[in-house]
Amino acid sequence: MKFIIFVEGHTEEKAIASFLKKWLDKRLDLPAGISVIRFQSNSEYLIDIKDRVHMLFTGKNSQEIIAAIGLLDLYGLDFPEKIESVGKRYEWAKGSIEKKVAHPKFKQFFAVHEIESLLFSDISIFPLPISKKITKKSLKPETINFNEPPAKLLKRLYKEQLHKVYTKTTTGKSLFDRLNPDTAYQKCPYFKFMMIDKGIKR
């Protein structure tokens, strides 16, 4: 039983497989295998995702793959000017990519506004000086917006409060290792939507 996840960011590449596996293994009869394929940029992703998905499902051992999942940050994408709300942007981008790929085993999802938003669902995973600064934001992590998206906010807080550098590949990975997916599921509706849409329910 294998899932393939297509991503763009370094945090997703380093952390998302083990994070989702913690969720899946408690809910599936057999341990889940998760492979992550990272693109260099959003533009490369949007250009190549269709070919990569179709190659995946025509290649060797393709019958073992349950689903291919695209996971991008909603932050950083380009949208038509008339589409302003988060919900409509999510719906438009998801529909556009899935229509382009046109494969029944592929679904596109987005972190709102970045994958790091999930980390804010549990302030106990952070050092105390950081957790004190994000208590209110932890109530609705996915509302941390385009003005100062989650990773940018964490970089600022780590510098100001700890005099340390927050990095996606090291600090972010360590935080995801400590985060319980059930907590993110309860506080992050778009993450919950992804898990329910794939049939990976509580």
Mean pLDDT within 165-194 = 95
Q: Which two tokens stand for residue 154?
A: 């964490």
> How far is it, in rounded angstroms, from Cα 97 to Cα 104?
13
> How far is it, in rounded angstroms, from Cα 136 to Cα 92?
29
Listed as own residue / partner, the contacts of 135-141 with beta carbons closer than 8 Å and 24 or more positions apart are: 138/187, 139/187, 140/187, 141/117, 141/184, 141/187, 141/188
Strands (E), 10-152: 33-38, 65-73, 106-111
Mean per-residue pLDDT over the chain, rounded: 92
What's the pLDDT at 191?
A: 94
Mean pLDDT within 163-178 = 96
What's the pLDDT at 197?
A: 66
Instruction: Give the strand order in the sheet containing 65-73.
Output: 33-38, 2-7, 65-73, 106-111
Residue 75 reports pLDDT greater than 90: no
Strand 2-7 versus strand 106-111 pairing type: unpaired
List pLDDT tens digits, range 79-105. 998 998 999 999 999 999 999 999 999
Domain ranges of the chain: 2-115+180-197, 116-176
CA atoms within 13 A on the CB side of 103: 20
Mean pLDDT within 170-185 = 96
Residue 1 reports pLDDT greater than 80: no
Q: Which two tokens stand for residue 167?
A: 């990095």
Residue 199 reports pLDDT greater than 80: no
Q: How many other CB atoms are there within 10 angstroms of residue 19's CB atom? A: 22
List pLDDT tens digits, range 13-72. 889 999 999 988 888 888 889 999 999 999 999 999 999 999 999 988 899 999 999 999
Mean pLDDT within 131-144 = 94
pTM, entire model: 0.90
Q: How far is CA 156 from CA 11, 125, 130, 160, 164, in A?
A: 17, 17, 10, 6, 10
Longest dimension (CA), the chain: 50
Q: Which two tokens stand for residue 18?
A: 């083990």
What's the pLDDT at 198?
A: 56
> How far is it, in rounded angstroms, from Cα 199 to Cα 92?
22
